[in-house]
Amino acid sequence: MTKYTLLRLVSIISFLALWRLGSELSSPKILPGPVAIGETIIENFVTPGPEGKTAWFHIGITLARILVTFSIAMLAGITIGLIMGLRRRVELAVGYLIPVALTIPTLLAVFLCVLWFGFSESGGLFAVVLTVTPFVTVNMLAGSKALDKELIDMAQAFKAKRSLLIRKVLIWQLMPYIFSAFRYAFGMTWKIVALAETFGLKFGIGYMFTFWFEQFNMVQVMAWIILFVALMLILEHGLIARVEERVFAWRPVHAL
Amino acid sequence: MPLNAVEIEGLGKTFPTPSGLSRFAVIKSLSLRIQRGTFASIVGPSGCGKSTLLNIIAGIEPHDLGHVRIIPQDGTNAAARIGYVFQSPRLLNWLSVEDNIKFALEAQTIDRGRWDERVQKYLEMVGLSGQELNYPLKLSGGMQQRVAIARALAIEPDILLMDEPFSHLDEITARKMRVDLMHILEHAQPTILFVTHSLREAVFLSEEVYMMSVKPARIFKHLRVDIPRPREPEDPRLFDLEKGLVKEFFAVLERDQQ
């Protein structure tokens, strides 16, 4: 463990050193150094920037957008996927729509929604839900196909009611699929939310990319990108990984 | 007049042929009565429809003809309680041992206030006290099957169905499980319908042995095993019974093939 920590530390320090070197060799306007970026990030948190808002405000807006769209997409995807997986007729009737939905390029979906709704909050958020939902649906469809018939028979032999069957037998078998959908959908959601903010939504981290991009302010653009990446890494590894660990506590740990 | 726990009359079951054009009979006019508190075994070769029969009794599979009746012990018209032990444990691996048993108790709408007492009682009976909070995948195959047995016993079933419950275990574990099951039955006296392909297992465990032939399944022989329990696996009287049944079984198989 300590060996790897040391290795990683050396790697990070080397990376920062190379970055610094690159910045010195080119110019701070093209590649600002790590110190300048770090200072700018702290500065953004402390003093209000454009629109009179600090970084906290933009982070809050972006996180709220992610939370809302992500929840809706997960809920819709799980429901649709399960209905399709458990009702063959529904799958036959509308299954072909999934590849169609998966094929539409994300950028086009955003443009389409801008055309429909204008540069409004609901338009941007709708685009996110529209693009993420099919991915969740596909995962749940696969999960519902992989359900263990023997366990369902067992539950029926003991006369388990439908709600008990869903709560104690089905949901848990679907957990790996829900989590893989969760991770994937989460990654997609924040990318598309950032995209929608870049293209039209007011406020948020993506909005700040555009703002500083239009000022040709390299330091600020990079500061916001790094802040965004750091935030998403914390969410992914800090939050999702923890929840996953708890949910799968029943699995024996296999030595790799 | 002894009371029956299970009455099966003229049971018939067909499956579609692989081509789907016609149906063949798996079970044909099968009748069976099992008295309350009896350990009855059905012995037959693999694929003779034994599991199908149990699934029909459990209500997991529909049947085409005849009727199946399970008579509740308390004489009420309440739905009969059916306990089922399958070939593999079929535990819910994401629930603790305790919660696996509670799953069956909840499914059977048994009063929540009695759950803990039932869990304790039946886990102790199968020799797994102290494993309440463990997860199934941390247990050995034999222990998992014990949990499955505790789960089925915990609902205090009107009939306990056992479908080759020891066939997936190694022979030493299986042997110990058979002896232990015999001891468990000294404390709880459920009616058991036990399905196996092993004549030795059947004569060792049961009071009644029914022999089943293949395609369509029918019962061609009924035998009472009058040796008092607990029995010794090496009891020479059991061997004699087994030998006689094997002979008879091959005679029927040959006749069927002609």
**Shortest Cα distance, chain A CAs vs residue B53, angstroms:** 13
* Residue B200 pLDDT > 80: yes
* ipTM confidence: 0.90
Listed by number, the residues of chain B in 26-65 with a beta carbon closer than 8 Å to a beta carbon of chain A are: 55, 58-60
Cα–Cα distances in angstroms (integers) from residue B118 to residues A222, B58, B123, B124, B202, in the given order? 63, 22, 8, 10, 28
Question: How do residues A84-126 score in pLDDT, each as one tens digit?
Answer: 888 888 888 888 888 888 888 888 888 888 788 877 788 888 8
Cα–Cα distances in angstroms (integers) from residue A212 to residues A208, A219, B250, in the given order? 6, 9, 89
* Residue B41 pLDDT > 90: yes
Quote the CA–CA distance of B155 and B216 in Å, as a whole number: 33
pLDDT value, residue A254: 54
* Residue B92 pLDDT > 90: yes
Quote the CA–CA distance of B151 and B164 in Å, as a whole number: 16
Quote the CA–CA distance of B151 and B119 in Å, as a whole number: 8
Chain B hits for A152, Cβ within 8 Å = none
Chain A hits for B55, Cβ within 8 Å = 153
Question: How do residues B147-191 score in pLDDT, each as one tens digit?
Answer: 999 999 999 999 999 999 999 888 898 998 899 898 888 877 889
Question: How do residues A26-52 score in pLDDT, each as one tens digit?
Answer: 887 788 888 888 888 888 888 887 878
- Name the closest residue on chain A to residue B93, using Cα atoms: A250
Question: How do residues B51-80 score in pLDDT, each as one tens digit?
Answer: 899 999 999 999 999 999 988 877 666 788
CA A58 to chain centre: 17
What confidence category does residue A256 fall into, taking pLDDT thresholds of 50, 70 and 90?
very low
* Residue B207 pLDDT > 90: yes
- Count contacts between A and B (CB, < 8 Å): 62
pLDDT value, residue A255: 41
Q: Which of B59, B77, B79, B60 is nearest to B68 (CA)?
A: B59
Task: Kindly list the residues of chain A whose beta carbon comes within 8 Å of any beta carbon in chain B.
Answer: 150-151, 153-161, 164, 168-169, 172, 175, 249-252
Cα–Cα distances in angstroms (integers) from residue B96 to residues B83, B102, B116, B134, B188, in the given order? 19, 10, 14, 5, 24
Q: Is B204 on the interface with A (CB under 8 A)?
A: no
**Shortest Cα distance, chain B CAs vs residue A79, angstroms:** 22
pTM for the whole thing? 0.78
- Name the closest residue on chain A to residue B86, using Cα atoms: A154
* Residue A1 pLDDT > 60: no
pLDDT value, residue A66: 92
Question: How do residues B96-107 score in pLDDT, each as one tens digit?
Answer: 999 999 999 999
